[in-house]
Every structure is written in structure tokens, then in C-alpha cells.
Amino acid sequence: MTIPTAAMSELGNSTAIYHSHRGAALSELEKIWEAVKECEKAINLDPKLFIAHNNLALVLLRLGQVDNARKHSVK
């Protein structure tokens, strides 16, 4: 899986959606810590963005951080 940077650049790299999708893609590439950082950037930009919280929860589960994942899965 590759990160579709051309398509993603249309969103602008400062948007929460961009960072959320980038985090999901990095997770699929097993770049887990980079994925966490991207999801956290997304949440900082838009704390109400459900998909960013969901993506972060999934990444945290891969790290075995169940309690932290649970906090983001209910937002």
C-alpha cells in the first residue's frame, strides 16, 4: 500500500482529514509510531473529528494500549 500523496495534497497538509488519512495509511505500512503522530496532529487540528479518534484508537490497539485506545474510541 502506498500513501496517495498526489491525491492527499489536494486536501492540504494542514488539514485534520489529511493527517488522519495519512495516519491510517502509515499504520497499514506498519509505521506505527509515525501513524500515532499523524493521528495526534489530526486531533490537535480538529478535536471533534471522529475518524481521527477512531484511527488513533486502532493504532493504539496495535501497540497494546487498550486503555488509551478506549479513550479515543468513545469520542
Q: What is the pTM of this model?
A: 0.80
Residue 37 Ramachandran class (φ > 0 left, ψ -120 to 50 alpha, else beta)? alpha
Could you report the per-residue pLDDT of 5-44, keeping only the tens digit for each? 555 555 556 799 999 999 999 999 999 999 999 999 999 9
Q: Give the residue numbers spanning the domain of 14.
A: 5-73
71 pLDDT more than 70: yes
CATH number of 60's domain: 1.25.40.10
For residues 72 and 55, is the Cβ–Cβ distance under 8 A?
A: no
Residue 3 Ramachandran class (φ > 0 left, ψ -120 to 50 alpha, else beta)? beta
Residues 19 and 64: their CA atoms lie apart, in Å, by: 22
Residue 24 is predicted with a pLDDT of: 96
Number of domains observed in the structure of the chain: 1
Q: How far, rounded to the nearest angstrom, does the alpha carbon of residue 51 sit from its chain's CA centroid?
A: 8
